[in-house]
Copies of this chain bind each other. A is one copy, B any other.
Amino acid sequence: MERQDIYESESLTFILSRMMKLRRSNVHLLLRDQEVYPGQPPLLFHLSRHEGHSQKEIAQHLQLTPATVTVMLKRMEKTGHVERRPDPQDQRISRAYLTDKGREALSEVKEAMNFLEIQCFQHISEEEKRMMRRLLLQMYDNMKSFEQSLLTEKDQPNRK
């Protein structure tokens, strides 16, 4: 069955996305007891380091849209991990805080995610990790340049 074709694939991005998908699924399994979904740890971590950030600040840091942050925070309010309070000086601004429940969940999430990270890099040396880091950043830069060229192209009247 072609379930195994990750081992035959020449496409690195294919392997990458399969690996990331599996990782995400493992995150899900790991976090189920904490009522935390796979997309939420980055937000939890951010709030633990930046108590009371506005939604705009959160969105910028996590590179998400404001709409996504609103929806996520709303859900996390619902599970009791987060609370939002209006800024005293500016009624447009909403600031997010971890609740006690949120902090509790967070420490377990931190532990779980660290554990996962260690498992993920089993049998991979520090040197190899360093090389991979360099290559990934190169890829990121390449994609950033590519994005720029696409967006520039988009603004051209004579595009295509």
Give the contact stretch, choosing among A5-13, A77-85, A87-95, A98-106.
A5-13
Q: How large is the interface on A (under 10, 10 to 19, 20 to 34, 35 or more residues)?
A: 35 or more
Is A124 a contact of B139 with CB atoms below 8 Å?
A: yes
Q: Main SS of the interface on chain A?
A: helix
- Tell me which of B3, B15, B117 contacts A136 (CB under 8 A): B15
Assess whether A29 is in contact with B136, with CB atoms less than 8 Å apart. Answer: no
Closest chain B residue, CB of each to CB of A146: B119
- How far apart sit A23 and B147, CA to CA, in the bound complex (Å)? 9
By a beta-carbon cutoff of 8 Å, the part of chain A in contact with chain B is 1-3, 6-7, 11-13, 15-23, 25-26, 29-30, 33, 60-61, 63, 116-117, 119-124, 128-129, 131-133, 135-140, 142-147, 150-151, 154, 160
